[in-house]
Protein backbone atom coordinates (compact mmCIF):
# COMPACT_ATOMS: atom_id res chain seq x y z
CA UNK A 1 0.00 0.00 0.00
CA UNK A 2 1.13 3.49 -0.78
CA UNK A 3 -0.35 6.77 0.36
CA UNK A 4 -0.48 9.13 -2.60
CA UNK A 5 -1.18 12.83 -2.49
CA UNK A 6 -2.77 15.26 -4.90
CA UNK A 7 -2.08 18.93 -4.44
CA UNK A 8 -4.28 21.75 -5.67
CA UNK A 9 -3.47 25.42 -5.88
CA UNK A 10 -5.47 28.61 -5.91
CA UNK A 11 -4.92 32.34 -5.73
CA UNK A 12 -6.57 34.20 -2.88
CA UNK A 13 -6.98 37.97 -3.18
CA UNK A 14 -7.90 40.00 -0.09
CA UNK A 15 -10.89 42.29 -0.44
CA UNK A 16 -9.61 45.41 -2.21
CA UNK A 17 -6.38 43.80 -3.46
CA UNK A 18 -5.98 44.60 -7.16
CA UNK A 19 -7.18 41.98 -9.62
CA UNK A 20 -6.39 41.68 -13.33
CA UNK A 21 -8.76 44.01 -15.18
CA UNK A 22 -10.15 41.12 -17.27
CA UNK A 23 -11.01 39.22 -14.05
CA UNK A 24 -12.64 42.30 -12.52
CA UNK A 25 -14.68 42.85 -15.67
CA UNK A 26 -15.89 39.25 -15.67
CA UNK A 27 -16.93 39.51 -12.00
CA UNK A 28 -18.92 42.62 -12.98
CA UNK A 29 -20.60 40.58 -15.73
CA UNK A 30 -21.46 37.85 -13.22
CA UNK A 31 -22.92 40.54 -10.96
CA UNK A 32 -25.05 41.76 -13.89
CA UNK A 33 -26.22 38.17 -14.38
CA UNK A 34 -27.67 38.24 -10.84
CA UNK A 35 -30.53 40.33 -12.23
CA UNK A 36 -31.89 37.24 -13.99
CA UNK A 37 -31.66 34.96 -10.96
CA UNK A 38 -34.92 33.24 -10.03
CA UNK A 39 -34.42 32.04 -6.46
CA UNK A 40 -37.70 32.38 -4.51
CA UNK A 41 -36.97 29.20 -2.51
CA UNK A 42 -33.38 29.65 -1.34
CA UNK A 43 -33.32 33.47 -1.49
CA UNK A 44 -29.74 32.94 -2.66
CA UNK A 45 -28.93 34.49 -6.02
CA UNK A 46 -25.99 33.31 -8.10
CA UNK A 47 -24.60 34.87 -11.27
CA UNK A 48 -22.07 33.38 -13.66
CA UNK A 49 -20.27 34.88 -16.66
CA UNK A 50 -18.16 33.16 -19.28
CA UNK A 51 -15.43 34.88 -21.24
CA UNK A 52 -15.31 33.33 -24.71
CA UNK A 53 -12.10 33.17 -26.73
CA UNK A 54 -13.33 35.91 -29.08
CA UNK A 55 -14.02 38.24 -26.12
CA UNK A 56 -17.77 37.71 -26.01
CA UNK A 57 -19.51 37.23 -22.67
CA UNK A 58 -22.21 34.65 -21.93
CA UNK A 59 -24.10 34.99 -18.67
CA UNK A 60 -26.26 32.68 -16.60
CA UNK A 61 -28.06 32.77 -13.26
CA UNK A 62 -29.65 30.19 -11.00
CA UNK A 63 -33.18 29.16 -11.93
CA UNK A 64 -35.15 27.46 -9.16
CA UNK A 65 -38.36 25.46 -9.23
CA UNK A 66 -41.06 24.43 -6.74
CA UNK A 67 -39.91 20.88 -7.48
CA UNK A 68 -36.46 21.70 -6.11
CA UNK A 69 -34.26 19.33 -8.17
CA UNK A 70 -35.73 20.72 -11.40
CA UNK A 71 -33.85 23.98 -10.86
CA UNK A 72 -30.36 24.65 -12.20
CA UNK A 73 -27.27 26.47 -10.95
CA UNK A 74 -26.01 29.64 -12.61
CA UNK A 75 -22.83 27.96 -13.86
CA UNK A 76 -24.65 25.19 -15.71
CA UNK A 77 -27.20 27.63 -17.17
CA UNK A 78 -24.28 29.59 -18.67
CA UNK A 79 -22.21 26.57 -19.75
CA UNK A 80 -25.09 24.70 -21.39
CA UNK A 81 -26.27 27.87 -23.10
CA UNK A 82 -22.75 28.51 -24.43
CA UNK A 83 -22.38 25.04 -25.89
CA UNK A 84 -25.86 24.88 -27.33
CA UNK A 85 -25.59 28.27 -29.04
CA UNK A 86 -21.89 28.21 -29.91
CA UNK A 87 -20.58 24.65 -30.05
CA UNK A 88 -16.83 24.45 -30.58
CA UNK A 89 -16.10 27.90 -29.18
CA UNK A 90 -13.54 27.96 -26.40
CA UNK A 91 -14.35 29.25 -22.92
CA UNK A 92 -11.40 31.04 -21.35
CA UNK A 93 -12.74 32.04 -17.93
CA UNK A 94 -15.78 31.66 -15.72
CA UNK A 95 -16.65 34.13 -12.95
CA UNK A 96 -19.16 33.31 -10.23
CA UNK A 97 -20.71 35.60 -7.67
CA UNK A 98 -23.70 35.52 -5.36
CA UNK A 99 -25.98 37.58 -3.19
CA UNK A 100 -28.23 36.38 -0.39
CA UNK A 101 -31.45 38.14 0.54
CA UNK A 102 -31.06 37.67 4.30
CA UNK A 103 -27.31 37.83 5.01
CA UNK A 104 -24.12 39.18 3.49
CA UNK A 105 -22.36 36.56 1.43
CA UNK A 106 -18.70 37.30 2.21
CA UNK A 107 -17.09 34.00 1.18
CA UNK A 108 -16.21 33.21 -2.45
CA UNK A 109 -19.07 31.30 -4.13
CA UNK A 110 -17.56 27.98 -5.18
CA UNK A 111 -19.33 25.78 -7.74
CA UNK A 112 -21.29 22.76 -6.52
CA UNK A 113 -20.12 19.24 -7.34
CA UNK A 114 -22.45 18.82 -10.32
CA UNK A 115 -21.27 22.11 -11.85
CA UNK A 116 -17.64 21.07 -11.30
CA UNK A 117 -18.35 17.92 -13.27
CA UNK A 118 -19.84 19.99 -16.13
CA UNK A 119 -16.85 22.35 -16.08
CA UNK A 120 -14.61 19.25 -16.27
CA UNK A 121 -16.50 17.98 -19.32
CA UNK A 122 -16.21 21.40 -20.96
CA UNK A 123 -12.44 21.56 -20.40
CA UNK A 124 -12.07 18.05 -21.76
CA UNK A 125 -14.12 18.83 -24.87
CA UNK A 126 -12.27 22.05 -25.67
CA UNK A 127 -8.90 20.63 -24.63
CA UNK A 128 -8.00 23.68 -22.56
CA UNK A 129 -8.35 24.80 -18.98
CA UNK A 130 -10.87 27.32 -17.71
CA UNK A 131 -9.84 30.03 -15.27
CA UNK A 132 -12.46 30.04 -12.51
CA UNK A 133 -12.95 33.27 -10.55
CA UNK A 134 -15.05 33.04 -7.37
CA UNK A 135 -16.40 35.89 -5.29
CA UNK A 136 -19.17 36.53 -2.76
CA UNK A 137 -21.08 39.77 -2.45
CA UNK A 138 -18.04 41.04 -0.56
CA UNK A 139 -14.75 39.65 0.77
CA UNK A 140 -11.94 37.73 -0.86
CA UNK A 141 -11.70 36.58 -4.45
CA UNK A 142 -10.42 33.07 -5.15
CA UNK A 143 -9.09 31.99 -8.53
CA UNK A 144 -8.13 28.56 -9.83
CA UNK A 145 -6.45 27.76 -13.11
CA UNK A 146 -8.43 24.73 -14.25
CA UNK A 147 -11.03 22.44 -12.73
CA UNK A 148 -8.45 19.89 -11.51
CA UNK A 149 -7.92 22.31 -8.63
CA UNK A 150 -11.57 21.98 -7.60
CA UNK A 151 -12.26 18.40 -8.65
CA UNK A 152 -9.25 16.17 -8.18
CA UNK A 153 -9.64 12.56 -9.37
CA UNK A 154 -12.58 13.58 -11.56
CA UNK A 155 -14.67 11.13 -13.52
CA UNK A 156 -14.07 11.44 -17.26
CA UNK A 157 -15.34 9.92 -20.47
CA UNK A 158 -12.32 7.63 -20.90
CA UNK A 159 -13.62 5.61 -17.98
CA UNK A 160 -16.56 4.76 -20.22
CA UNK A 161 -14.00 3.67 -22.85
CA UNK A 162 -15.25 6.56 -24.93
CA UNK A 163 -13.18 9.22 -26.71
CA UNK A 164 -14.85 12.53 -27.51
CA UNK A 165 -15.19 13.31 -31.20
N1 LIG B 1 -26.22 27.72 -6.69
C2 LIG B 1 -25.66 28.12 -7.88
O3 LIG B 1 -26.37 28.58 -8.79
N4 LIG B 1 -24.33 27.98 -8.03
C5 LIG B 1 -23.47 27.61 -7.04
O6 LIG B 1 -22.27 27.59 -7.25
C7 LIG B 1 -23.99 27.23 -5.73
C8 LIG B 1 -25.46 27.12 -5.63
C9 LIG B 1 -27.66 27.94 -6.52
C10 LIG B 1 -28.50 26.70 -6.53
C11 LIG B 1 -29.72 27.19 -5.74
O12 LIG B 1 -30.58 27.90 -6.64
C13 LIG B 1 -29.14 28.18 -4.76
O14 LIG B 1 -27.88 28.56 -5.27
C15 LIG B 1 -28.98 27.63 -3.35
O16 LIG B 1 -28.27 26.45 -3.36
DSSP annotation string for the chain: ----------EEE-TTS---HHHHHHHHHHHHHGGG-B-TTT-EEEEEEEEETTS-EEEEE-B--SSGGG-B-HHHHHHHHHHHHSTTPPEEEEEEEEEESSS---S--PPPHHHHHHHHHHHHHHTS--EEEEE-SSS-EEEEESGGGTSTT---GGGGT----
CB 119 within 8 A of CB 79: yes
Look at residue 130 in the predicted model and tell me its pLDDT: 98
Torsions phi, psi of 117, nearest 5?
-65, -40
Question: CA angle, corner 104, sides to 27 and 40, nearest 5?
Answer: 85
User: Which entry of 12, 14, 17, 75 is annotated as an active-site residue?
Assistant: 75
Torsions phi, psi of 89, nearest 5?
-85, 140
48 Cβ below 6 A of ligand 1:
no
The pLDDT tens digits of the residues spanning 99-127 come to 999 999 999 999 999 999 999 999 999 99
What is the C-alpha to C-alpha distance for residues 7 and 115, in angstroms, rounded to an integer? 21
pTM attached to this predicted model: 0.96
Residues 6+ apart with CB under 8 A from 55: none
d(CA 2, ligand 1 centre) in Å: 37
Q: Decide if 75 is catalytic.
A: yes
Look at residue 42 in the predicted model and tell me its pLDDT: 98
Look at residue 162 in the predicted model and tell me its pLDDT: 75
List the chain domain ranges. 11-151
105 Cβ below 6 A of ligand 1:
no
Beta bridge partners of 63: 38, 72
Look at residue 134 in the predicted model and tell me its pLDDT: 98
The pLDDT tens digits of the residues spanning 67-91 come to 999 999 999 999 999 999 999 999 9
What is the C-alpha to C-alpha distance for residues 62 and 136, in angstroms, rounded to an integer? 15
CB 47 within 8 A of CB 33: yes
42 Cβ below 6 A of ligand 1:
yes
The CATH class that applies to domain 11-151 reads alpha beta
Average pLDDT, the chain: 97
The pLDDT tens digits of the residues spanning 147-163 come to 999 999 999 988 888 77
79 Cβ below 6 A of ligand 1:
no
Q: Which atom of ligand 1 is nearest to the CA of 77?
A: 3
Amino acid sequence: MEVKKISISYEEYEDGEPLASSDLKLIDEATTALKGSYAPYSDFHVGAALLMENGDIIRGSNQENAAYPSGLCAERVALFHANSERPGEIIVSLAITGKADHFKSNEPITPCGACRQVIAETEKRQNSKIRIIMKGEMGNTRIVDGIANLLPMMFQGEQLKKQLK
